Chain A
Amino acid sequence: MNVPAAWYLVLAAVLFGIGAYGLLTRRSAIIMFMCVELMLNAVNLTFVTFARTLSDIGGQASVFFVMVVAAAEVTVGLGIVVAVFRRRHSTSVDELTEMKG
């Protein structure tokens, strides 16, 4: 018998927390993108766990689409990082203050 779904759900929650903490505290835009990937993977793990527990393939299909969106997000996001770096020679999010209200 496989380990209970609760173990995987707690693991996913911990992974999500680590990613969220990194997103809130790190300054480099690239590291922040990596933390977003961590959070997305935590959610994917939750989806797969529920798909296994409820015997529903829809959870795995959702993970498939999350992966596609994550790939698109990384492509555009890193493109923005490159464009910003060309102008500012920095990837620190603290220095992007033009839109300060």
Chain B
Amino acid sequence: MSATAYALPSIVVFVTAALLIVVGALGVLAVRNPVHAALSLILTLFGVAVAFIAQSADFLAAVQVIVYAGAIVVIFLFVIMFLGIGRSRHDHVEPLVGQRPLAALGVAVTVGGLIALLASSHWVTGATSVSGSPLAKGTGNVRQLGTAVFTTYLYAFEATAALLVIAVVGAVVLARRERVTEEAE
């Protein structure tokens, strides 16, 4: 199975997405300034969005950019600036001896084992779905995903509504707590 069997555009798209993802992820690790780490995170999230589009997950790519790269990273930046954290002062100290080598070893074993496990068998097994193909011609990705979410996964969808309300209320309570106790005292 040589690489030349695949269309050049798809290879270019994959390499672009992979570069965006890996560079951004390494940036999150390497950069000392949390603001720069958040910007690197945006790079990775955009790369994942590119990979989504390449695999015909159009709606998820849009949600990825709007919700992840938009809302979630903005929350991160809000918190970083609200707390006024500049350079992190704690990362150069190492209270746990050998933490980094052990972490690297554990991650290498996990990722290597995962890839070896996948490579030694068929990459993808299981029956191909007959109900809904994301690649089906004629029906858009958004229509398909919407149909699935509002029929098959309707209860899960309703549960996410409750989850989001609980999260918002929880965040407000966490942010208000100190002021409430001061008033109580």
Contact = CB atoms under 8 A, between A and B. Distances in A.
Contacts of B22: 11, 14-15, 18
Contact of A22 (B17, B28, B157): B28
A48 B115 contact: no
B76 A34 contact: yes
B57 to A, nearest CB: 5
B123 A9 contact: yes
A24 to B, nearest CB: 4
Contacts of A27: 88, 90-91, 93
Given A34-B37, A82-B82, A83-B174, A6 B110 contact: no
Contact of B29 (A26, A51, A52, A54): A26
Nearest to A90: B90
A15 B76 contact: no
Interface residue SS majority, chain A: helix
A41 to B, nearest CB: 5
A21 B102 CA distance: 10
Contact of A76 (B60, B79, B133, B167): B167
Contacts of A11: 14, 17-18, 21-22, 51
Given A4-B6, A52-B134, A55-B133, A80 B91 contact: no
Interface string A23-41: 0111110110111011001
Nearest to A72: B167
Interface residues of A, number: 75
A38 B28 contact: yes
A72 B171 CA distance: 9
Given A55-B129, A67-B67, A71-B67, A21 B104 contact: yes
Interface in B20-61: 21-22, 25-26, 28-29, 34, 37-38, 41, 44-45, 48, 51-52, 54-57, 59-60
B132 A1 contact: no
Contacts of B52: 45, 48
Nearest to B108: A17
A8 B52 CA distance: 10
A16 B99 contact: no
Contacts of B95: 94
A14 to B, nearest CB: 7
